[in-house]
Amino acid sequence: MGSVTLVLVAWVLAGTPEAEALPGGFPGTFVAKTLTLRSETYNYSVYLPPGYRRGLAWPVILSLHGADSRGTDGLRPRTQSLAGAARAHPERYPAVLVLPQCPPEREWSGEVADFALAALERTLAEYGGDPARVYLTGQSMGARGAVQLAARYPERFAALVAVSGRYPDRSVVEKLKGLPLWMWHGDADPVAPVSESRTLLELLKSAGSHSVRYTELPGLGHELSDTVYLDEAVSTWLFAQRRGK
């Protein structure tokens, strides 16, 4: 994690200069980015909300996509539902979004997870952000990756939203029990059985978690992300969470 540490140091040294308006391109602007980590180059996008100004303490959301958005073009994550919801309802998502792209045939684990975290820290260094309001979300494959990443760095995130995920690693429970988490699942999901979220919910409660929420949607399948991110209650809940609150 040396590269990630260096980025964190750079962010601390850079600080946040006085507010500076970003030139045109609104409402909402995607910025294409690449990042080289351990000799491999990855693609990601940063979404800047309408009215973005440098030096203001924006919330920042790291979003991990599902398997269908894997690739090397850097563009597919821009169409995922969080980005779509932010563009459709910018008043609900006044935040900088970090949208890494997982390479083909890979998952959000190991070096790819390290890349996602490095993209987050680099975004904070380049565009600023409120360290008390850094959030994590994921859907399907991304939900599993988000849960695993949050368990590795529970002190880094203010809250987590996980949609339609599989959670085979039960060792995450102890590390996640203090983190605000909202899980969503459809009870007719043919890809990731609803029992995955039900089981993780019960394990977290048994471990003493008082900050886990769960919404199960009757009759719905795997593709819930539009339903979730377009629900105003989700953004309201997310931004109400702060580190150290």
Q: Is residue 15 part of a domain?
A: no
Q: Are 116 and 107 in contact (CB under 8 A)?
A: no
pLDDT (average), residues 188-192: 96
Q: Is residue 16 part of a domain?
A: no
Q: Is residue 109 part of a domain?
A: yes
- For tokens 């309001």, the residue is 133
Q: Are 95 and 58 in contact (CB under 8 A)?
A: yes
Q: Is residue 68 part of a domain?
A: yes
Give the range of the structural domain holding residue 91, as residue numbers without chain letter: 2-8+25-240
- pLDDT tier, 245 (very low <50, low <70, confident <90, very high otherwise): low
Q: What is the CATH number of the domain that holds 214?
A: 3.40.50.1820
CA distance 228 to 216: 11
CA distance 107 to 66: 9
> pLDDT over 90 for what percent of the chain?
83
Question: pLDDT digit string (tens) for 17-54?
Answer: 333 444 444 468 999 999 999 999 999 999 999 999 88
Q: Is residue 19 part of a domain?
A: no
Q: Is residue 91 part of a domain?
A: yes
Question: pLDDT digit string (tens) for 60-80?
Answer: 999 999 999 999 999 999 988
Q: Is residue 182 part of a domain?
A: yes
- pLDDT tier, 11 (very low <50, low <70, confident <90, very high otherwise): very low
> pLDDT over 70 for what percent of the chain?
89
Number of domains the chain contains: 1
Q: Is residue 203 part of a domain?
A: yes
Q: Are 37 and 1 in contact (CB under 8 A)?
A: no
Cα dist from 107 to 104, 116, 137, 148, whole Å: 8, 11, 15, 11
Q: Are 160 and 135 in contact (CB under 8 A)?
A: yes
pTM for the predicted model, two decimal places: 0.89
β-strand 181-186 against 20-21: which pairing, if any? unpaired
